[in-house]
Structure 1
C-alpha cells in the first residue's frame, strides 16, 4: 500500500499539466492531485493562443467590405466595438476554463486552487497551508511575459494585459520583433489602432527563414504598420508628468508580467524617446520582449534541482530533473515553447513513469504557425540553417494570390521548399499566405515522414489554390 497521498502531484493547470494529470488518472489508474494558483487552461487557453486567435479572426473582418465590392457586393462598413468583442471573449474563456475543470473532475483528479511549492522530493506545500505527499511530482507551471529592466517600464503593458484593456487605444507602440510582437501588431492594426513597432535587431522574426520574414515585414508595412528596426527605447514617461516623475518602479513590476498599476491608468499618453532620436507619444506601450519560466520561489534549488541561466528547469530527454522523483514539462523547461509540445511531453511522461515504457520526447520537425497577416507556416530548417548543414536546393515562388489580386490588392504570398541536394529529402517548408497555418499542418506530415522533392512532384495539384505551388515547382531558384 502506498505511503503517499498521491501517486502523482501536478503543479500547474495549463494544457500540458492537465493532459498529464488526466491520462495518468483516467488511463493509467493513478491517484492524481493538481494545484493551480490562477485559471485552469494556462497561457494557451486564458492569455495566449486561444484569445489571440479569436482576436486574429476579429481583426480580419475590417478589410472584407472593401474587398467584397470588387466581387459585386454593395456593403457598408461599420465600426469595431471592442466592448462587444471583449464581452464575448470573456464568456468563451470562462466556458473553456469550465471545460478544463470538468475534464479533470471526470478523470478523477483532485484539484486545489492554490499555489504549490516543493518542500522535499516527495512533498508539496500549498498556499492554503496544506502539505501533501506524492511518489512523483510534475512541474508544469509555464512561463510569463517580462518587462525590460528600465525606468518607468511599469507604464507599459505585456501580452497578458491586452485581453483586459477597457477600450482600444488610438495608438500603440509595440516593443519587440518576435512572433508575439508581430502578431499583436497585425491584430491591432486590423482593429483600427495606429501601430508603431520598435525592434532592436535588423529584421523582425529573428530565427525564422530570412526570405519569409522579409516578405512578412513588407506586407506589414504595406498595411500601415510603422516598423522601426535597429531601434529601442531610450526613455519613457507620462506626457502629462515631468521628466523625473515615477522614474523608479518596484522591481517585480518592472521585470515581470502582470497588469500595469491601476493608479497609472487614465493619466495621459506615454512619451517615448527612441535610439533613432525620434520622440513620440502613444496611448499604450506594449512590451513583447521575452518570457521567463515560472520557476521562481518553488523551493527547487534548495532540493538540488538544476535551474538554467534563463530560469528554466533543466531536464533530460524523459523530462526528469536532477531529483529523480521530480519531472517538468512545457514552457518552464524552455525547450520548445508551444502548447502541442507541452501536451506531447505530458503524454510521454505518463508513458515513461506510469506505463513502464520509457518514451523520449521528439522535438524534431515540429510544424508551427505565426498568426501575422499574412500568416506564416513553417516546418523544418530555414534556408540559412540548411545551407550551413549541407548542400541544398531551394525551390520557391512568390506571387499575388487570385482572391486579392482580383480585388486589386498588392498582397503577395510565398511558397518555399528547402531540399537536400544529396538525399532529396525536403528539409524545410515555409509558407507565407492566408491560411498558412492550415497548410503547414499537412506539409508537416509529409516532411516528418521523410518525403523527398520527387514525392512532392508526384502529387497532383489541387487547382486553383495557392497551395498547388508546393507541388508544381520543378526547377530550383538557387543552390547553396
Structure 2
C-alpha cells in the first residue's frame, strides 16, 4: 500500500517535534505534523519556559534587598506586570518560530489545525482533508485537571496564569504539587498575598519527606500561607472577589483562585478508542518500551503516556522512536534515574530514590548537611540550604541525592551524571571540594546522620 506520509505526528510539543525532525532529516522519511494551537507545546508556550521566566521576575525583590545589604544604594519600584507580560509574549513567539524553523529545515510538512485518527493509517484534518501514513505518532501532551466542585468555573489553571490582565492582590493556589508550589512562590515574590490549600499532609508529594518539609518551611517563612489537610468545597462570586469555602470550615475571599490539582493525559477525542488503542485508568495511552500502542501502526510519546511527565523525557522518547522506526537503530528511552527540579523558592533538585523509598528497598546510610549559604547569610537572611545523600550500605552506591537551595536545579543536573554512572559514596569523598561553594558540602559529608 502507498501512503501519503511515512509518519504523521499529532502534537507540536517537544516530543512530537523531536520525533518528526529526526525521522525526516536523519531517517529520510516523509513526515507531516499537525498542531491545533501554538508550536512548542505545553513546555514552551504555557509551562516550563514562561513559568521559569516568571520565577526570575519574582526573585528580584529579594535580590534588591540583598544588594542594599552589600552596600548598593538601590530601591525597588513597582512591578509592571503589563510590561513583563508583553516581553514574555515576544519571547514565546521567538521560541515558537524557532520550533517552526526546525521543522521546516528538516523537511516536515506542518498543518496548523486539529487532527484526529480515522483508522490505523488515516488521519482526519479539521478542514475535512484525510491523509494516510504508515506510522502515526500521538504526542498531544496533557491538560490541567479541574476538580468537580461548585463554582469551579470561577478559577483559572496554569494555562491562564501567563495571560492575566493584572496581578491580583489576594490569590489562592489549590494543590500541593510542583506546579502549585511554584506558582505560590511566584505570586508571593511578585507581591501578591498568597495562600495555598492542599488536601494532603505535606506539599510536594513524591519527593523526599525531609526535602519537601524544608521547602514548605522556607515558603512559609517567605510569606506564603500554606494550609495542608485543606481542600475547596465550593467557590462563590462576591461583590469583592471570589469566596472560597474550604473543608476546614473557613470562608475566605480572594481575587484569584488557581487550580493546580494535577494534569490529565490529553488522549480522548482523538478517535483512538474506536480503533482499540488501550488506555490506563487515568486516560493515559498504554505503550510498551518502544512507545508502541496496542495498534501496531500507532505510537505515543510524552505526557499523553503518563510515564515521566517531563519535557526532556518526552524528547528522549520521541528521539528513540524515530531512531528505532526510521533509522534502523533500535533504542528504548531510559526512564531510570531521571533528575528533576522544582522551581520553588528555594529550589528543590532531586535524583534517584527518596530516603523513604530507599529504606523500604535495602539498608541505607543517610548523610545530611543544613547550613546558611554565604551570600544571604551576609545579607542577614535566615535562609537554609539542605544537602542530602542516600547511600546503599551494601554496594556503597549513592541511591539518591536531594538538594534544597539556590541553584539546586543546576547542581542536580551535574550530580545526576555521577549518580547515573553508579558513583559510590567513596567516589564523592575522593572528589576535592570547590571552595567556597554550596555544592562542596556534597563531597565533605563524612558521617551519616542515621542508618536504616
TM-score bracket relative to the smaller structure: over 0.9
2:150/2:233 contact within 8 Å kept: no
Using the alignment, how far apart are the partners of 1:425 and 1:63 within structure 2? 38
- After superposition, the C-alpha distances for 1:414-460 in whole angstroms (9 at most, x for unaligned) are 00000000000000000001000000000000000000000000000
Quick one: which of 346, 351, 363 aligns to 2:323? 351
3-state secondary structure, aligned to 1:62: helix
Structure 2 residue runs without a partner (length 5+): none
- After superposition, the C-alpha distances for 1:330-379 in whole angstroms (9 at most, x for unaligned) are 00000000000000000110111112222122100001100000100000
Using the alignment, how far apart are the partners of 2:374 and 2:383 within structure 1? 10
3-state secondary structure, aligned to 2:368: strand
- Deviation at residue 218 of structure 1 after TM alignment: 0.2
- After superposition, the C-alpha distances for 1:54-113 in whole angstroms (9 at most, x for unaligned) are 000000001122211211111111111000100100111011111111110111000001
2:123/2:130 contact within 8 Å kept: yes
Quick one: which of 244, 247, 271 aligns to 1:275? 247
- After superposition, the C-alpha distances for 1:370-405 in whole angstroms (9 at most, x for unaligned) are 000010000000000000000000001111111111
User: Which residue matches 1:433?
Assistant: 405
Using the alignment, how far apart are the partners of 2:232 and 2:328 within structure 1? 53
Using the alignment, how far apart are the partners of 1:149 and 1:373 within structure 2? 30
Using the alignment, how far apart are the partners of 1:357 and 1:51 within structure 2? 35
User: Which residue matches 1:243?
Assistant: none
User: Which residue matches 1:41?
Assistant: 40
- After superposition, the C-alpha distances for 1:208-229 in whole angstroms (9 at most, x for unaligned) are 0000000000000000000000
Using the alignment, how far apart are the partners of 1:421 and 1:284 within structure 2? 49
User: Which residue matches 1:105?
Assistant: 104
- Deviation at residue 295 of structure 1 after TM alignment: 0.7
- Deviation at residue 301 of structure 1 after TM alignment: 1.2
Correspondence list, 1:316-335, <5 A: 316-335=288-307
2:287/2:299 contact within 8 Å kept: yes
3-state secondary structure, aligned to 1:444: helix
Structure 1 residue runs without a partner (length 5+): 241-267
Using the alignment, how far apart are the partners of 1:383 and 1:315 within structure 2? 30
User: Which residue matches 1:447?
Assistant: 419
What is the aligned length? Answer: 452
Using the alignment, how far apart are the partners of 1:216 and 1:294 within structure 2? 31
Instruction: Please state if 1:390 is matched with 2:362.
Output: yes
- Deviation at residue 479 of structure 1 after TM alignment: 0.3
Quick one: which of 369, 380, 391 aligns to 1:419? 391
3-state secondary structure, aligned to 1:63: helix
3-state secondary structure, aligned to 1:445: helix
3-state secondary structure, aligned to 1:361: coil
User: Which residue matches 2:170?
Assistant: 171
3-state secondary structure, aligned to 1:144: strand
Q: Which runs of 4+ in 1 moved over 2 A?
A: none
User: Which residue matches 1:399?
Assistant: 371
User: Which residue matches 2:75?
Assistant: 76
3-state secondary structure, aligned to 2:61: coil
User: Which residue matches 1:244?
Assistant: none
Instruction: Please state if 1:381 is matched with 2:381.
Output: no
Using the alignment, how far apart are the partners of 1:63 and 1:390 within structure 2? 42
Using the alignment, how far apart are the partners of 1:148 and 1:287 within structure 2? 8
Instruction: Please state if 1:153 is matched with 2:125.
Output: no
Correspondence list, 1:168-317, <5 A: 168-240=167-239, 268-317=240-289
After TM superposition, the score normalised by the length of structure 2 is: 0.99
Instruction: Please state if 1:85 is matched with 2:84.
Output: yes
Using the alignment, how far apart are the partners of 2:202 and 2:331 within structure 1? 38
- Deviation at residue 3 of structure 1 after TM alignment: 0.3
User: Which residue matches 1:410?
Assistant: 382
User: Which residue matches 2:308?
Assistant: 336
- After superposition, the C-alpha distances for 1:127-186 in whole angstroms (9 at most, x for unaligned) are 111100000000000001021011110000000000000000001000000000000000
3-state secondary structure, aligned to 1:157: coil
2:316/2:333 contact within 8 Å kept: yes
Using the alignment, how far apart are the partners of 1:35 and 1:172 within structure 2? 36
